[in-house]
Amino acid sequence: MTQAMFERVALIGVGLIGSSISHAMRRRGLAKEIVGSARTKATLATALSLGLIDKGYERAAEAVKGADLVILSVPVGACGPLAAEIAPHLSAGAILTDVGSVKEAVVRDIAPHVPAGVHFVPGHPIAGTEQSGPEAGFAELFDGRWTILTPEPGTDAVAVEKLKAFWTALGSKVEIMNAQHHDMVLAITSHLPHLIAYNIVNTAEHLQRVTEKEVIKFSAGGFRDFTRIAASDPTMWRDVFLNNKEAVMEMLRRFSDDLAELKRAIEAADGDTLFRRFTEARDIRRGIIAAGQDTPAPDFGRVHGSQPAPETESGARK
Ligand code: NAP
């Protein structure tokens, strides 16, 4: 148990990320009181019954009153309207942060509403699963993962340090960068993979009619693992692509160029190029494991027959 860092934390949005933050705060005793609000009464009721929040409010404006930390854990497109709603009710000296997967647009939408004396420090935990909702969260989600903070120049340094210490106490490693750079990095590491996964599932679905359900039947051949993230929340991902258009378009151009090279190599039966490109890719994929960002367990740690369940680096479910 660590000493409480905040008196009252307001979670605006209690889905996968909001609920995981609550679990991780409770694990270390980081907040004396956790309050929250969600869009629907059903989510609020679930959050209360799971003990994720001590008090629930139907209106975000009510929830933030008296909070010294306010965390927006809602789809990116909801951040601006929510910031406008809560702004007049934020306490002087409070830290306002978010967890949105896009940062330039979130800064554009939130910053104009933030009153003087409130410290706005945008954030993004690079951790998640394809699940959503208050029941999906778990305390270990952020363990060993990175959280990126993107404070604008001139942001109060003490507030940035405090939020950095908070994310560290949640289990995360923290890096600070500017919002534009964040959006470019995430476009290739997260946004493009989700777009490709959604697209290949749809392509296969169209093909399915020809192959008579064989796509799902034989999915263990790669399709299953490659497309896990296509089960992610459509609202969240719609908002990501609407709000990180330029960086995603740039990465799509590069991806298309590289794909065209592979296509030419296949057409020309150019085995050397294929072998070289696949070897380079395998080395990068192995580098992800060497960096502790995935498990080296065969078949992603799935249990086969009498094999014992493998322990993951974070203790998270596999
Ligand atoms: P989620 O599980 O779907 O939860 C979203 C929460 O926001 C719910 O409590 C929802 O309430 C609330 N909400 C939705 N629309 C709202 C609105 N218009 N006004 C007020 N509240 C609203 O989503 P999540 O996965 O936690 O994602 C939340 C944020 O984290 C997103 O910005 C996403 O980009 C970012 N993020 C996600 C991941 C990931 O892997 N999922 C990882 C890192 C960052 P109701 O349930 O009542 O609708």
The tokens describing 33, both together, are: 């009181």
pLDDT of residue 307: 62
Expressed in angstroms and rounded, the spacing between residue 15 Cα and the centre of ligand 1 is: 5
Task: Judge if the beta carbon of residue 133 lies within 6 A of ligand 1.
Answer: yes
**DSSP string of the chain, one letter each residue:** -PPPSEEEEEEE--SHHHHHHHHHHHHHT-EEEEEEE-SSHHHHHHHHHTTS-SEE-SSHHHHTTT-SEEEE-S-GGGHHHHHHHHGGGPPTT-EEEE--S-SHHHHHHHGGGPPTT-EE--EEES---S--SGGG--TTTTTT-EEEE-PPTT--HHHHHHHHHHHHHTT-EEEE--HHHHHHHHIIIIIHHHHHHHHHHHHHHHHHHHHTTHHHHTGGGTHHHHTGGGGS-HHHHHHHHHHSHHHHHHHHHHHHHHHHHHHHHHHTT-HHHHHHHHHHHHHHHHHHHHTTSS---GGGG---TTPPPPPPSS----
Mention every residue, 6+ apart, whose C-beta is less than 8 A from residue 123. 97, 98, 99, 147, 148, 149, 150, 163, 167
Q: Is 255 exposed, middle or buried (0-12, 13-18, 19+ CB in 10 A)?
A: middle
pLDDT of residue 170: 98
* Inter-residue contact 174 to 147 (CB < 8 Å): yes
Q: Is 274 exposed, middle or buried (0-12, 13-18, 19+ CB in 10 A)?
A: middle
Task: Judge if the beta carbon of residue 53 lies within 6 A of ligand 1.
Answer: no
**Which of 73, 110, 149, 191 to mutate for ligand 1's pocket (most ligand atoms within 8 Å of CB)?**
73
- Cα→Cα distances 259→203, 214, 252, Å: 16, 25, 10
Work out the pLDDT band at 245, boundaries 50, 70, 90: very high
Specify the CATH number of the domain 6-177: 3.40.50.720
Task: Judge if the beta carbon of residue 115 lies within 6 A of ligand 1.
Answer: no
% of the chain beyond a pLDDT of 70 = 94
Task: Judge if the beta carbon of residue 43 lies within 6 A of ligand 1.
Answer: yes
Residue with tokens 């070289």: 276
* Inter-residue contact 172 to 125 (CB < 8 Å): yes
Task: Judge if the beta carbon of residue 39 lies within 6 A of ligand 1.
Answer: yes
Higher pLDDT: 115 or 202? It is 115
Q: Are strands 69-72 and 95-98 parallel, antiparallel or unpaired?
A: parallel
The per-residue pLDDT for range 87-121, each reduced to its tens digit, is: 999 999 999 999 999 999 999 999 999 999 999 99
The tokens describing 206, both together, are: 């169209």
Expressed in angstroms and rounded, the spacing between residue 85 Cα and the centre of ligand 1 is: 17
Task: Judge if the beta carbon of residue 37 lies within 6 A of ligand 1.
Answer: no
Answer whether residue 310 shows pLDDT above 60: no
Task: Judge if the beta carbon of residue 125 lies within 6 A of ligand 1.
Answer: yes
**Which of 129, 130, 236 to mutate for ligand 1's pocket (most ligand atoms within 8 Å of CB)?**
236
Expressed in angstroms and rounded, the spacing between residue 75 Cα and the centre of ligand 1 is: 5
Task: Judge if the beta carbon of residue 229 lies within 6 A of ligand 1.
Answer: no
In the chain, where the domains are located: 6-177, 181-290
Answer whether residue 280 shows pLDDT above 90: yes
41-80 residues labelled b (16+ CB within 10 A) or e (exposed): eebbebbbeeebbeebbeebbebbeebbbbbbbbbbbbbb
Which superfamily, per CATH, for 181-290?
Answer: 6-phosphogluconate dehydrogenase C-terminal like domain (1.10.3660.10)
Q: Is 299 exposed, middle or buried (0-12, 13-18, 19+ CB in 10 A)?
A: exposed
* Inter-residue contact 77 to 239 (CB < 8 Å): yes
**Which of 76, 101, 145 to mutate for ligand 1's pocket (most ligand atoms within 8 Å of CB)?**
101
Answer whether residue 77 shows pLDDT above 60: yes
Expressed in angstroms and rounded, the spacing between residue 114 Cα and the centre of ligand 1 is: 21
pLDDT of residue 300: 74
**Which of 57, 74, 194 to mutate for ligand 1's pocket (most ligand atoms within 8 Å of CB)?**
74
Expressed in angstroms and rounded, the spacing between residue 3 Cα and the centre of ligand 1 is: 28
Task: Judge if the beta carbon of residue 244 lies within 6 A of ligand 1.
Answer: no
Task: Judge if the beta carbon of residue 233 lies within 6 A of ligand 1.
Answer: yes
**Whose alpha carbon is nearest atom 31 of ligand 1?**
75
Task: Judge if the beta carbon of residue 243 lies within 6 A of ligand 1.
Answer: no
Work out the pLDDT band at 163, boundaries 50, 70, 90: very high
pLDDT of residue 2: 65
pTM comes to 0.92
Q: What is the overall mean pLDDT for the chain?
A: 92
Higher pLDDT: 138 or 299? It is 138
